[in-house]
Structure 1
Amino acid sequence: MQQIKVKWPLNPQETVLFKVNGVYIKNSFSAKQGVLYITNERIVFEAKPMLMFLLFGIIGWLLTRKKVAQEFQLSDITDFKRTKHGFNKKIAEFDLIDGRKVRFGVTGKWEIFDAAYQKAMIDVQPLFSVN
């Protein structure tokens, strides 16, 4: 299995399990394109700076650093479901322990993303348990 490289720091025992292009949906009017990563500890969304692409073309876009726009621990997730946003029916919605809802549009097959998420969650110990 090929190791997925990232430009942000990983924790000592952290490994990247899955990578997919996607869109971070901030609200009904604002979204960022980028890459969504699932590690064994957290979910990280790395935004691509689209303004640099508009101003300087492909060269400016390639030279700019990507930045982490959103991240949260897998143990902070209280609920996960597939939902839709406009015509896109492949939206991953995460409810977090602090009350936030975070939504990402996922490219490619939904089943592959869902399987990667479920596999990552197998080893995560939730902070609280219902049973």
Structure 2
Amino acid sequence: MQRTIKVKWPLNPQETILYKVNAVYIKNSWNAKQGALYLTNERIVFEAKPMLMFLLFGVIGWLLTRNKKAIEFSLSDITDFQRTKHGFNKKVASFSVIDGANYRFGIGGKWETFDLAYQKAMLDVQPLFSVK
């Protein structure tokens, strides 16, 4: 039995959520955002959790605030994916995108589970450019 993962942002037609994991978006050495990383059959979406409301109003303020999409990019735009590290965290997913941007996410949970879900999602994606 597969449970459905609900999201607060609109899905494209024929798009399904394949995997959800708690993650940290690592902008640079001093700036990071906590949230959830969603892997769909078309794109990767990072939904940030508002940590300021937690500091101001505690757990109740954190629960009542809305999450927002911080980053999203298509699976077909990914040019490179690799496992890297950031400090002591050795479970950092690094994505290079076709426009030159590089996104790094610290993955919560088991790395193998995330990697397997990512590899399965990439099997169905047709890349924009193919080298043959």
TM over 0.5: yes
Deviation at 1:28, TM superposition (A): 1.2
Ranges in structure 2 where 5+ consecutive residues have no aligned partner? none
In the alignment, structure 1 residue 26 sits paired with structure 2 residue 27: yes
For 1:51, the aligned partner's letter is L
Secondary structure of residue in 2 paired with 1:99: coil
Deviation at 1:79, TM superposition (A): 0.6
Provide the residue aligned with 1:11 in structure 2.
Answer: 12
Provide the residue aligned with 1:59 in structure 2.
Answer: 60
**CA distance in 2: counterparts of 1:125 and 1:99, whole angstroms:** 19
**CA distance in 1: counterparts of 2:9 and 2:104, whole angstroms:** 21
Ranges in structure 1 where 5+ consecutive residues have no aligned partner? none
Deviation at 1:48, TM superposition (A): 0.4
Deviation at 1:39, TM superposition (A): 0.1
For 1:71, the aligned partner's letter is E
Deviations 1:6-41 (A, max 9, x none): 011100110000000010001111000000000000
Identity within the alignment, %:
78
**CA distance in 2: counterparts of 1:87 and 1:69, whole angstroms:** 25
Provide the residue aligned with 1:110 in structure 2.
Answer: 111
**CA distance in 1: counterparts of 2:119 and 2:15, whole angstroms:** 17
Q: Give the alignment's TM-score, normalised by structure 2.
A: 0.98
Secondary structure of residue in 1 paired with 2:109: coil
For 2:125, the aligned partner's letter is V
For 1:111, the aligned partner's letter is E
Provide the residue aligned with 1:127 in structure 2.
Answer: 128
Deviation at 1:119, TM superposition (A): 0.4
Deviation at 1:129, TM superposition (A): 0.3
Deviation at 1:4, TM superposition (A): 0.6
Poorly superposed stretches of 4+, deviation over 4 Å: none
Q: Give the alignment's TM-score, normalised by structure 1.
A: 0.99
Instruction: For 1:67-106, list aligned pairs within 5 A.
Output: 67-106=68-107
Secondary structure of residue in 1 paired with 2:54: helix
For 1:97, the aligned partner's letter is I
